[in-house]
C-alpha cells in the first residue's frame, strides 16, 4: 500500500500554486491548484486536506475525491474545488508514474494522436492584434483568442462596435481562426448587436457573452445566434454545469482543470456534455501542470474540441512562462496548430523541483488588475 506521507504547496511566480504529494515509499506526484488572485486562500485549504489525507492510500483517488468534496460539508466554489483539483492531479500523476504509463492510459486510452490548441493575443487596436497574431503563427498556432471588447456601456453607440470588428477581421485576414472572449463585460442590450455584427466573420466561438450568473440571458442568446457559445471558467462542478446543459444554452463547455475539481471531476463534466452533444474546450490560462492535466483529459475525451494554452502571456513578465519550471519543455512543442499527445508517464511533464523550491521562497501575491470604464465605474476583468 502506498500511503500519502506529505502534501506540499508552492506559490511560484508568476501566479501559480503547485502541489507536490509524496508517498511513504518515496514516490512523488505533482499537480496545480492555481486560482488567479486567490492563491493564499487555496493554499490555506490544504491544511484541512493534510489533516484528512496524510496516511491515506494514495491509490484510492476516487475515494479521496469524494471524502474531500462531501465530508467538508460546505461544498464547491472556486477555493475548495481548486485545492481539490491540485490534489487530484497529483494523485493521478502518482498512480500513472507507478505504473509507468500516461494518465490518459488509465482513462481508457487515447482517442486522438494530436491535440488542437490556441493561444491568447492582446491589443486594443487592429495593428496590435495583427502583430501579436503573427507571433502566434510563428510559434505554430493556427487559432487564437482575444477580447471581444475592452469596454462597452449599457447602451453603446454603433461606432463603439467598429474596433471589435476591425480587430477580428485583421486576424482572420492572416488565415487564423479566432475565438472571442466577452468576459461577461457586455450587458445584454449590447450583446445582441455585437453578435449580429460578428456573425459574417465566423469566429470559432464566443466566450462568456454574458456572465454565467445570468442563465436566462444565455438561453435567450442561444436562440438568437448561430455562433457557438462557450462558457465555464467560473463553474466548478458537474452540478454547476448541469443547468446549462439542461437548458441547451451552450455549445462548448470550458471547465478549468485547476478550478473544477481536477481530472476526476472534469472527466465527469465531459461525459455529461457528450450526452447533450456539447463539446469540451478546457479553460487554461495557467501553468504547465494545469495544462498537462488538460492534455491528458483531451487525449481520452471524444467530445474534446480545442485546448487553451498560455505560452508566454498574461503575466506582465518576461522572466516566467509556461516552460519555466519544466525540464522537458519540448513536450509542449506546437506544430501546425497541434501538440502531440504526451507519451511520458504520469501527466507527461517533468518539473524542475529545485527551481520550484527556489522560486517559492518568496511566495507570489499576484492580484487581478482593476478595470474601469471612461466614467470611472468598475468593469469585469
SS3 assignment, position 158: helix
Backbone angles phi, psi at 338, to 5 degrees: -130, 155
From first to last of the 381 residues of the chain, give the pLDDT tens digit. Answer: 899 999 999 999 999 999 999 999 999 999 999 999 999 999 999 999 999 999 999 999 999 999 999 998 899 999 999 999 999 999 999 999 999 999 999 999 999 999 999 999 988 788 999 999 999 999 999 999 998 876 666 666 667 778 889 999 999 999 999 999 988 877 777 788 888 889 999 999 999 998 889 899 899 888 889 999 999 999 999 999 999 999 999 999 999 999 999 999 999 999 999 999 999 999 999 999 999 999 999 999 999 999 999 876 444 455 788 999 999 999 999 999 999 999 999 999 999 999 999 999 999 999 988 878 777 878 777
- Percent of the chain that is helix, strand, coil (3-state, to 5): 40, 20, 45
CA distance 242 to 338: 30
Q: Fold for domain 4-101? A: Enolase-like; domain 1 (3.30.390)
Cβ neighbors of 230 (< 8 A, separation 6 or more) are 179, 205, 206, 207, 208, 250, 251, 252, 253, 254, 281
- 3-state DSSP call for residue 224? helix
**What's the Rg (C-alpha) of the chain?**
20
Burial of 135 (0-12, 13-18, 19+ CB in 10 A): middle
Instruction: Please name which of 95, 39, 29, 26 lies closest in space to residue 62, comparing C-alpha atoms.
Output: 95
Q: Identify the active-site residue in 38, 183, 259, 364.
A: 183
CATH placement of domain 105-345: 3.20.20.120
Return the domain boundaries, the chain. Answer: 4-101, 105-345
pLDDT score for 123? 85
Sign (positive or negative) of CA dihedral 273, 279, 283, 284: positive
Pick the catalytic residue from 283, 314, 330, 364. 283
One DSSP character per residue, 284-315 reads --S-HHHHHHHHHHHHT-TTB--EE--SS-SS
**Are both 4-101 and 105-345 of the same fold?**
no
Pairing of strands 114-120, 338-340: antiparallel
351: DSSP letter: B
Kindly report the number of other CB atoms within 10 A of residue 6's CB atom.
Answer: 12
For residue 379, what is its C-alpha cell? 468593469
Phi first, then psi: what are they for 184, rounded to 5°?
65, 20
CA distance 266 to 97: 21
Quickly count: other Cβ atoms within 10 Å of residue 108's Cβ. Answer: 11
Residues 211 and 245: beta-carbon distance below 8 Å: no
Question: Strand pairing of 279-280 and 252-253?
Answer: parallel
C-alpha cell at 53: 489525507
Verify whether residue 283 is a known catalytic residue.
Answer: yes
Whether 183 is a known active-site residue: answer yes
Amino acid at each position: 500500500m502506498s500511503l500519502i506521507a506529505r502534501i506540499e504547496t508552492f506559490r511560484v511566480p508568476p501566479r501559480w500554486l503547485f502541489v507536490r504529494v509524496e508517498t511513504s515509499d518515496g514516490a512523488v506526484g505533482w499537480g496545480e491548484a492555481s486560482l488567479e488572485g486567490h492563491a493564499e486562500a487555496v493554499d490555506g485549504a490544504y491544511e484541512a486536506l493534510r489533516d484528512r489525507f496524510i496516511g491515506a492510500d494514495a491509490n484510492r483517488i476516487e475515494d479521496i475525491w469524494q471524502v474531500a468534496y462531501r465530508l467538508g460539508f460546505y461544498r464547491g466554489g472556486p477555493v475548495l474545488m481548486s485545492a481539490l483539483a491540485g490534489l487530484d492531479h497529483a494523485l493521478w500523476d502518482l498512480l500513472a508514474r507507478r505504473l509507468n504509463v500516461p494518465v490518459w492510459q488509465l482513462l481508457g486510452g487515447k482517442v486522438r494522436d494530436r491535440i488542437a490548441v490556441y493561444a491568447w493575443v492582446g491589443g486594443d487596436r487592429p495593428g496590435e492584434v495583427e502583430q501579436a497574431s503573427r507571433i502566434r503563427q510563428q510559434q505554430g498556432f493556427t487559432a487564437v483568442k482575444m477580447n471581444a471588447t475592452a469596454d462597452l456601456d449599457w447602451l453603446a453607440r454603433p461606432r463603439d462596435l467598429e474596433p471589435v470588428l476591425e480587430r477580428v477581421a485583421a486576424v482572420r485576414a492572416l488565415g487564423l481562426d479566432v475565438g472571442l472572449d466577452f468576459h461577461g463585460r457586455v450587458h445584454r442590450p449590447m450583446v445582441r448587436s455585437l453578435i449580429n455584427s460578428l456573425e459574417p466573420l465566423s469566429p470559432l466561438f464566443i466566450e462568456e457573452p454574458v456572465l454565467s450568473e445570468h442563465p436566462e440571458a444565455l438561453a435567450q442568446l442561444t436562440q438568437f445566434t448561430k455562433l457557438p457559445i462557450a462558457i465555464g471558467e467560473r463553474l466548478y462542478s458537474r452540478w454547476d454545469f448541469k443547468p446549462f446543459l439542461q437548458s441547451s444554452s451552450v455549445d462548448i463547455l470550458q471547465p478549468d482543470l485547476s478550478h473544477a475539481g481536477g481530472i476526476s471531476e472534469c472527466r465527469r463534466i465531459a461525459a455529461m456534455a457528450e450526452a447533450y452533444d456539447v463539446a469540451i474546450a478546457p479553460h487554461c490560462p495557467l501553468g504547465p501542470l494545469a495544462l498537462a492535466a488538460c492534455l491528458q483529459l483531451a487525449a481520452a475525451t471524444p467530445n474534446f474540441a480545442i485546448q487553451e494554452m498560455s505560452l508566454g502571456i498574461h503575466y506582465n513578465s518576461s522572466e516566467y512562462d509556461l516552460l519555466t519550471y519544466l525540464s522537458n519543455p519540448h513536450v509542449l512543442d506546437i506544430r501546425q496548430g497541434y501538440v502531440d499527445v504526451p507519451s511520458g508517464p504520469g501527466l507527461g511533464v517533468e518539473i524542475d523541483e529545485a527551481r520550484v523550491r527556489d522560486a517559492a521562497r518568496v511566495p507570489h501575491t499576484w492580484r487581478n488588475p482593476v478595470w474601469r470604464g471612461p466614467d470611472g465605474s468598475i468593469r469585469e476583468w
